[in-house]
Amino acid sequence: MNRVITACCLIAAIILYSASAALIIRSENAELIEIIGQISECNEKGDSENASAAAQRLNYKWRSFERKMSVFVRDDKLNSISTSVARISPYIDEANDELDAELQNIRRQLTLIYRGELPAWYNIL
């Protein structure tokens, strides 16, 4: 009987861990995507000062997010987003056309991280 209780407790802990990870990732992603949207809007308007300020907020928020997510997500996924986030400020300063592509890349990678951590039947392995 002790084994059954232990097994049930372990399954409950795994479910709780998965659900809490998904909620944390979703809320953090929403904040990051909002900042990315602000950068994109400022870039379209040609407002490089506000775009640079938003890029600094994105960089700060990403560093915080990265520390939290290193518990849930593999480092290779986080490193690729870190590289993309690091490119944002120089692209704004240079008025580079690659900025929109890089912002879309970050959005897509954040979405993939969230989907990868969602507890679903197709994502068990």
Encoded tokens for 12: 């409950």
Question: Is a pLDDT exceeding 60 seen at residue 28?
Answer: yes
Q: What CATH code is carried by the domain that includes residue 44?
A: 1.20.120
98-113 pLDDT per residue, tens:
888 899 999 999 998 8
Question: Is a pLDDT exceeding 90 seen at residue 36?
Answer: yes
Nearest of 25, 34, 42 to residue 123 by alpha carbon: 25
Q: What is the mean pLDDT of the chain?
A: 85
Q: What is the pTM of this model?
A: 0.81
57-85 pLDDT per residue, tens:
999 999 988 888 887 777 778 888 889 89
Residue 17 has a pLDDT of 83
Residue 122 has a pLDDT of 67
Question: Is a pLDDT exceeding 60 seen at residue 21?
Answer: yes
Those residues whose C-beta lies under 8 Å from the C-beta of residue 73, and which sit 6 or more positions away, are 25, 113, 116, 117
Encoded tokens for 66: 């990265």
Domain extent, residue 44, equals 2-123
What is the number of structural domains in the chain? Answer: 1
